[in-house]
Chains A and B, each alone.
Chain A
Amino acid sequence: MNENEPATQFEQAILPHLDAAYNLARWLTGNDQDARDVVQEASLRALKFFGGFRGGNSRAWLLTIVRNTFYNWLEKNRPHEVSTAGDEELYGLEDPSVDPALLLARSSNVEAVRGAIEQLPVEFREIVVLRELEDCSYKEIADVAGVPIGTVMSRLARARKQLQEILADKSETGDRP
């Protein structure tokens, strides 16, 4: 195929980031089928907008579209999950009751970690996935999520605090075998 055909350029821009797109969608929707639908829809949208893409960070560009597609999907399919977490609320001191040794022990449990992230509200989950799994910078996350960097910082802090609490709290009920 000709190198200069738009379809080829498009594929070169997005295909390397398909894993990132699917990973984000998979964490946000919580299952494979919905994640596929979101990524499929997002790729068609990306194709439509590709003419306006001026090069640069194609991963962040694609992830932004995936994220927006996901929120449209969420409103249509699970409107009750669309939350409006107040970002203005200042986050306080780290919880001193979280026992470091316990946290260490809990965090080595892969299932517990996965479960804890899944319990996070969606606007925290996306930030955790972008930061910890996709290794995005705060600037990239701000671009993808369409929020100021300050909001990225506060959401990340609150998300991590919640994760610590969820993980440490598991001790009360114990590991159910």
Chain B
Amino acid sequence: MNCREIQNLLHAYGDRELDVMTSLEVEKHLQTCSECKQALENQTVLGNSIATGAPYYKAPASLRDSIIASTRQAAQAEQPRIISRRWQWNPLAAGLAMAASLALGFFLAMQFQQQSARDFLVGEIVASHVRSLLATHLMDVVSTDKHTVKPWFDGKLDFAPPVNDLTADGYPLIGGRLDYIGGRTVAVLIYQKKKHFINLFIWPSANGGETPQTTVKNGFNIVNWNHAGMAFWAVSDVSPEDLRTFADLLGSDTSPAR
């Protein structure tokens, strides 16, 4: 490939959107061509400065409130009309609906019992994630250095959470904090993916390495897995794929086999 062709691919290369074969070809070219290498460096400089320098405009609270109010109003305007008509047409339907809802309720209650422990945990973790972002209590120890974050937990916990830096993979470690989840004090590591935060909750667990489980709650993605005697729960608003990649990185990186 010549420089023109390479430079047409350079953006996708820098964004890690190329397939492996093409990626290797670009890499090979870059080793010998200083001009294309410079173009890639310029591109990286620009990307970094946008990511760190350009403002990310968060939705004002008043907008959030007015959207909730207006969409609820619009939703209500649709609903009661339909429901009231149905009830008037056939009173017998009321009895049937009652029976059906009792059956459904019973079914849900059974489901709920099985699911409740996990749901409860998921709820707590999402709440902690949201709270950490709202109340600016994201971090107790602010550091991108794992050798600062790890010792910080000493004496505060009865276990030593594994602390890995994933900067090279696009998930820089930015700090840690303590939190209280499921009736115990847990370690929380905070990672960043561009402008988004990932809260990683860690505590000791006797369960073995099952396959990671993925959950969505309130629009947040949650992945949990067990590894090397610890339970890991990652929660974030990054895409499910990114969160799985993040989990895979940690699963393999903390692996005793290495």
A164 pairs with B71, CB closer than 8 A: no
Cβ-defined contact, B42 with A100, below 8 A: yes
A82 within 8 A of B: no
Interface status of A146 (Cβ within 8 A of chain B): no
B72 beta carbon closer than 8 Å to chain A: yes
Decide yes or no whether B97 CB sits under 8 A from chain A.
no
CB pair A35–B42 under 8 Å, yes or no, is no
- Complex CA–CA separation, A27 to B71 (angstroms): 24
Q: Which of A12, A40, A44 is within 8 Å of B63, CB to CB? A: A40
Q: Which residue of B lies closest to A21 (CB)?
A: B59
| Interface secondary structure of A, over-half rule | helix
- Flag if A131 contacts B15 (CB, 8 Å): yes
Assess the B220–A16 pair: CB atoms within 8 A. yes
Q: CB distance A17 to B237 under 8 Å?
A: yes
For residue B10, give the distance in angstroms from its CB to the closest CB of chain A: 8
Flag the segment in B48-56, B140-148, B154-162 that touches A: B48-56
Q: Closest Cβ of chain A: how far from B102's Cβ, in Å?
A: 16
Secondary structure dominating the interface of B? helix
Q: Could you say which of A109, A133, A167 has the most chain B C-beta atoms within 10 Å of its C-beta?
A: A133
Looking at the complex, which one of A6, A35, A39, A132 makes contact with B51 (CB distance below 8 Å)?
Answer: A132
CB of A94 closer than 8 Å to a CB of B:
yes
Q: In the complex, what distance in Å separates the CA atom of A134 from the CA atom of B194?
A: 8
* Contacts A14-B219, A22-B57, A137-B239 given; does A100 touch B15 at CB 8 Å: no
Q: For residue B39, which residues in chain A have a CB less than 8 angstroms away from its CB?
A: 93-94
Contact in complex: B55, A135 (CB < 8 Å): no
Query: Does A58 sit within 8 A of B, measured CB to CB?
Result: yes
B11 pairs with A160, CB closer than 8 A: yes
How many chain A residues have a CB neighbour from B under 8 Å?
61
CA distance A57 to B237 in the complex (A): 11
Interface flags for A10-35 (1: CB within 8 Å of B; 0: not) read 11111111110111001100001001
**Does B121 have its Cβ within 8 Å of any Cβ on chain A?**
no
B75 near A7: Cβ-Cβ < 8 Å: yes
- Cβ B63 vs Cβ A108 within 8 A: no
**Set of chain A residues within 8 Å of B219, measured between Cβ atoms:** 12-17, 58-59
Binds B, one of A70-78, A110-118, A169-177: A110-118
Are B17 and A160 closer than 8 Å at their CB atoms? no
Q: Is the CB of B7 within 8 A of A94?
A: yes
Query: Which A residues lie within 8 Å of B85 (CB)?
Result: none
In the bound assembly, the distance between CA atoms of A90 and B242 in angstroms comes to: 32
Report yes or no: A114 in contact with B75, Cβ–Cβ below 8 A.
no
A164 to B11, CA, bound (A): 13
- Residue from A6, A23, A107, A157 in contact with B58 in the complex, judged by beta carbons closer than 8 Å: A23
* Segment 210-258 of B: residues with Cβ below 8 Å from A: 217-220, 237-239, 241-242
Cβ-neighbour of B35 out of A12, A96, A163 (below 8 A): A96
Report which B residues bind A (CB closer than 8 A).
Answer: 3-4, 7-8, 10-12, 15, 17, 35, 38-39, 41-43, 45-51, 53-60, 63-64, 66-68, 70-72, 74-76, 79, 193-196, 217-220, 237-239, 241-242
16 contacts between A and B (CB under 8 A): A23-B57, A58-B219, A90-B8, A93-B39, A98-B42, A107-B46, A107-B48, A107-B49, A108-B49, A110-B55, A117-B50, A132-B51, A135-B196, A135-B238, A163-B46, A164-B42
